């Protein structure tokens, strides 16, 4: 197959067809995006970074990720939940991250809500994975036109509504769909991308948390 002849695909330096955005973030494309995440701390990190992503370039957020991790104690939500006004001031003075007061406060709030969610569901993973869409909710083929026009879904809307009901912030339907892509609840690698099959294989053998 010549991936160069299919809209949205390019050929990587390894000679493999892949989504055209891979050139900006090859490691993220090949090893993270669309791969199932069931570790609670990693999951919480993705929730927070998707919140910062809202209205901003994901590439910018991704390249600041290590700095975000240092600033927010590796996204240990039990620790972040205890952050005070002094911590907010410290983070607002940190030029290495995105200094948005509302989003910083949202991380702290969501850390507190995450603890409550663990008490409710047993783990963050168990709660979030209940929103994995049924097969009939997903397209048979993920092409460029579908990818460019699909910004949310019924499952993402359900997730957003449930999170907001529990007091979470910066979790609108578009953010939740982006989160679902990042967590592997959906596999939105373009049909023909070599990572699509790898993600499907991981999803096929994944033990869904309950």
Q: How high is the pLDDT of residue 210?
A: 81
Enumerate the β-bridge partners of residue 19.
9
Q: How confident is the model at residue 4 (pLDDT cuts 50, 70, 90)?
A: very low
CA atoms of 122 and 5, how far apart (whole Å): 47
Residue 158 has pLDDT above 50, yes or no: yes
Q: What is the CB-side half-sphere exposure of residue 149 using CA atoms within 13 A?
A: 6
The architecture in CATH of the region 3-205 reads Orthogonal Bundle (1.10)
User: Rounded to whole angstroms, how far apart are CA atoms 1 and 175?
Assistant: 34
Instruction: Note the pLDDT tens digit of each residue in 65-110.
Output: 999 999 999 999 999 999 999 999 999 999 999 999 999 999 999 9
Distance CA 34, CA 115 (A): 25
**21 DSSP assignment:** G
Q: How far apart are CA 103 and CA 109, in angstroms?
A: 10
Asked if pLDDT for residue 1 goes beyond 50, the answer is no
Please give the mean pLDDT across all residues of the chain: 95
pLDDT digits (tens, 9 = 90+) for 126-153: 999 999 999 999 999 999 999 889 999 9
In this predicted structure, what is the pLDDT of residue 111?
99
Q: Which residues are annotated as a binding site?
A: 29, 189, 193
SS3 104: helix
- Radius of gyration from C-alpha coordinates of the chain: 17
Task: List, for residues 108-132, the tens digit of each pLDDT value.
Answer: 999 999 999 999 999 999 999 999 9
Q: Just list the catalytic residues.
A: 28, 50, 58
For residue 2, what pLDDT is reported? 36
pLDDT at 6: 65
Neighbours of 4 (CB within 10 A): 9
Q: For residue 37, what are its two tokens?
A: 């995440």
DSSP of 107-157: HHHHHHHHHHHHHHHSSHHHHHGGGPPPGGGS-SS--HHHHHH----HHHH
The pLDDT value recorded for residue 98 is 98
Taking the complete model, does pTM exceed 0.85, yes or no? yes
Report d(CA 133, CA 156) in Å as an integer. Answer: 9
Indicate whether 45 pLDDT > 70.
yes
Binding residues for Zn(2+): 29, 189, 193
What lies within 8 Å, CB to CB, of 82 at 6+ separation is: none
Using the 8-state DSSP alphabet, how is residue 15 labeled? S
The domain ranges of the chain are 3-205
What percent of the chain has a predicted confidence (pLDDT) above 70? 97
SS3 200: helix
pLDDT number for residue 22: 96
What is the predicted pLDDT for the residue at 7? 83
């Amino acid at each position: 197959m010549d991936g160069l002849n299919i809209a949205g695909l390019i050929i990587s330096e390894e000679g493999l067809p892949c989504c055209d955005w891979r050139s900006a973030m090859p490691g993220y494309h090949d090893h993270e995006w669309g791969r199932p995440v069931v570790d609670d701390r990693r999951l919480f990190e993705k929730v927070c970074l998707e919140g910062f992503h809202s209205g901003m370039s994901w590439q910018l957020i991704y390249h600041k990720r290590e700095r975000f991790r240092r600033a927010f104690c590796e996204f240990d939500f039990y620790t972040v939940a205890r952050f005070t006004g002094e911590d907010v001031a410290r983070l607002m003075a940190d030029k290495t991250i995105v200094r948005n007061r509302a989003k910083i406060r949202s991380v702290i709030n969501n850390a507190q809500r995450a603890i409550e969610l663990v008490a409710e569901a047993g783990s963050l993973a168990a709660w979030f994975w209940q929103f994995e869409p049924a097969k009939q909710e997903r397209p048979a083929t993920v092409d460029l036109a579908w990818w460019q026009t699909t910004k949310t879904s019924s499952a993402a809307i359900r997730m957003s509504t449930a999170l907001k009901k529990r007091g979470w912030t910066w979790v609108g339907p578009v953010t939740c769909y982006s989160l679902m892509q990042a967590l592997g609840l959906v596999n939105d690698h373009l049909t023909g991308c070599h990572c699509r099959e790898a993600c499907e294989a991981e999803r096929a053998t994944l033990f869904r948390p309950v």
